A = this chain, B = another copy of it.
Amino acid sequence: MSKYDTYFQMAVGDVVDFTLKKTKDYIDWDIETMEAIVPPEHGNLNHVYRVLDGKGNSIFIKQASRTLRISEDMTATLDRNRLESELLIIQDKYVPGMVPKIYFYDTVMSASGMEDCTDYTVMRNAMLAHEIFPHFADDISTFMVNTLLMTSDVVMNHVEKKKRIKEFINPDLCDITEKLVLMEPYMDLYDRNNVYPPNADFVQKELYNDEALHLEVAKLKFNFMTNAQALIHGDLHTGSIFISQNNTKVFDPEFGTFAPMGYDTGNVIANLVFAYGNGLVYDKKDFCQWVLDTIRDTLDLFIEKFTLLYEQEATEPMAKIDGFKEWYLNSILDDTAGYAGTELHRRTVGMANVTDLTTIEDEEKRSLAERICIYLGKELILNQANYRTGDDYVRAVYESEKKAKASL
């Protein structure tokens, strides 16, 4: 019997021993100087440790806990750690080096050993400091096109894909998305939204009382629940992205499942808009321009690379019929706008807000940044078919800004 034959929640003191046991065959640890620390950045769902030694070896250990750090009321299967590790291994095949390397995962302890990416910054934090990353649009569009299109029925063998769907059915995490993203921002059903009090009436009017908006969100919710289009990351926000001046690594795919591609693309765009709102109220003009360029380029490069890869890799005969690619891409672009909208709303008024907005101390400025997100989200959800190019988004950001200013 080993200490690790039954799951227990490790304390920091257990982690060195566990790491050594799991990795001693391929990492040449200096045992004397090995230590485990809790890094300042934590996810909402897991316990994360950094293990390092005096020789420069280091690794991250991520263990799923039985209750979610975000809320003790919510539980998620420990299996999410297995799922995340397997997903990172698959993604690494389609976008080599663009996700952290997985050293191991231990199904009993629900813990994985993962590449230490502390020389990168979490993108949301870097953008809070108004840093600029000119390569990001190029990187993230490659990441999305390759991971999404290659796992869709356009390319993947259908029998193989159905086996993958089975492997990545993710009921607990999908339940969180279905409630926190695709319902509660519009009806606060469980009384756990975090609405900024100065915007309470605005939220009531624009989100809670708009039945036409609710109908479109309901369609997006059902689309998310039923459309097993591709293996998505499922939580592709700037807090799930490590970035440096040269590279981008996407992590934390524990919400990964087969779902609409537009959920990922929409999340990226929405989270860039939060950064824009922050930059705007702190009057960071260059930063704001870079964010808008990045929104535009991310979408345009996604379309360009998607079209190219589709032509190169499509295996499904019916996907090669004239007009199908365009129809398929347009449905992804509809979804992109729709889910960008729901992400804009849920991160502004839902349970899990973003620091891009919550760290704005001035009341009027925070109200303004939030209203831009709320107006833009509504516009995107209600007029999905109008969003076909990057410029369409940039224009809509400016218009929402104008509307938000006028509303204050």
Contact = CB atoms under 8 A, between A and B. Distances in A.
Oligomeric state, in copies:
2
A319 B172 contact: no
A150 B170 CA distance: 21
A318 B166 contact: no
Interface magnitude class on chain A = 35 or more
Given A162-B170, A163-B171, A211 B322 contact: yes
A200 interface: no
A182 B318 contact: yes
B153 A222 contact: yes
Interface string A142-169: 0000000000010000110111011001
Interface stretch (A42-50, A98-106, A224-232, A288-296): A224-232
A94 B271 CA distance: 44
A215 interface: yes
A323 interface: yes
Interface in A188-221: 189, 211, 214-215, 217-219, 221
A175 interface: yes
B153 A215 contact: no
Contacts of A169: 162-163, 165-166
A321 B161 CA distance: 34
Contacts of A324: 215, 218-219
A8 interface: no
A228 B189 CA distance: 26
A35 interface: no
Contacts of A159: 171-172, 175
B162 A328 contact: no
B175 A158 contact: yes
Given A162-B174, A219-B327, A214 B153 contact: no
14 contacts: A158-B225, A165-B169, A166-B166, A182-B318, A183-B317, A215-B321, A218-B318, A218-B319, A222-B319, A222-B328, A226-B227, A226-B228, A226-B229, A227-B227
Given A153-B222, A162-B174, 9 more contacts: A158-B178, A159-B172, A166-B166, A182-B318, A214-B318, A214-B321, A217-B318, A227-B227, A227-B228
**Ranked 6 nearest A-B pairs via Cβ:** A162-B171, A218-B318, A159-B171, A166-B169, A214-B321, A218-B324
